[in-house]
Copies of this chain bind each other. A is one copy, B any other.
Amino acid sequence: MAATTEGPPAAAPPRRSDATRAAIVAAAREQFAAAGYQGATIRSIAAAAGIDPALVMRYYGNKEGLFAAAAEFDLRLPDLGALPRSQVGAALVSHFLDRWEGDDALMALLRAAVTNPAARQRMQSIFATQVGPQVGKLSGLPRAEAAARAGLISSQILGLALCRYVLELPPVLKLTRADTVRRVGATVQRYLFDA
């Protein structure tokens, strides 16, 4: 054997804490998504993760640090330049819906951003670094005009998510996915290339 004292070699010591950390972040996303920043408590998160509340503090320092870790987020926008120009709007909406329904990250971010300043800034930076540039590249417009259009697109897409997933307005819930992609996609398309 490598060593009579046994145990893993020097590289990558398998600490159980890694699994614990992952469980905490997953539970945090869940709770922040369901109850917002203030509604989710260290205790409720620890309970959902099946561990002790003190561990959350040990690993993430405080509630702010935990949220910062839980709100790590990548929109994973696909390369829309490869698509036929006429399909870009619908593709964008479709991707956003996937991203909303895929996990709790965006829901957690939005629910928290409405009352928590740090979450709001995170939201601002996400749309500044991930949405804005992509719109600029796609539309080929000057920076200021592209930013304005990215803002309009964000307002439509975030509003759709707000009404559908957060406020759950019945008429918005009744829309089929295909219908949503088509109709909201047309709006995004217009913001991208027309008016």
Which stretch of A18-26, A52-60, A80-88, A163-171 is in the interface?
A: A163-171
Residue from A123, A124, A128, A151 whose CB has the most chain B CB atoms within 10 Å: A151
Do A155 and B159 contact each other (CB < 8 Å), given the known contacts A114-B36, A128-B170?
A: yes
Residue from A110, A111, A171 whose CB has the most chain B CB atoms within 10 Å: A171
Per-residue CB proximity of A160-184 to B under 8 Å, as 1/0? 1011101111111011000100011
Is A186 located at the chain interface by the 8 A CB criterion? yes
Do A155 and B164 contact each other (CB < 8 Å), given the known contacts A115-B111, A190-B187?
A: yes
Give chain B nearest CB distance to A41 CB in angstroms: 11
B171 lies within 8 A of A162 (CB): no
Is A148 located at the chain interface by the 8 A CB criterion? yes
Per-residue CB proximity of A113-154 to B under 8 Å, as 1/0? 111000010011001100010000000000000011011101
Is A195 located at the chain interface by the 8 A CB criterion? yes
B155 lies within 8 A of A163 (CB): yes
Is A35 located at the chain interface by the 8 A CB criterion? yes
Do A171 and B150 contact each other (CB < 8 Å), given the known contacts A115-B111, A190-B187?
A: yes
A158 lies within 8 A of B162 (CB): yes
B120 lies within 8 A of A168 (CB): yes
Is A44 located at the chain interface by the 8 A CB criterion? no
Give chain B nearest CB distance to A184 CB in angstroms: 7
Per-residue CB proximity of A34-58 to B under 8 Å, as 1/0? 0110110000000000000000000
Per-residue CB proximity of A68-89 to B under 8 Å, as 1/0? 0000000000000000000000
B155 lies within 8 A of A174 (CB): no
Residue from A113, A160, A179 whose CB has the most chain B CB atoms within 10 Å: A160
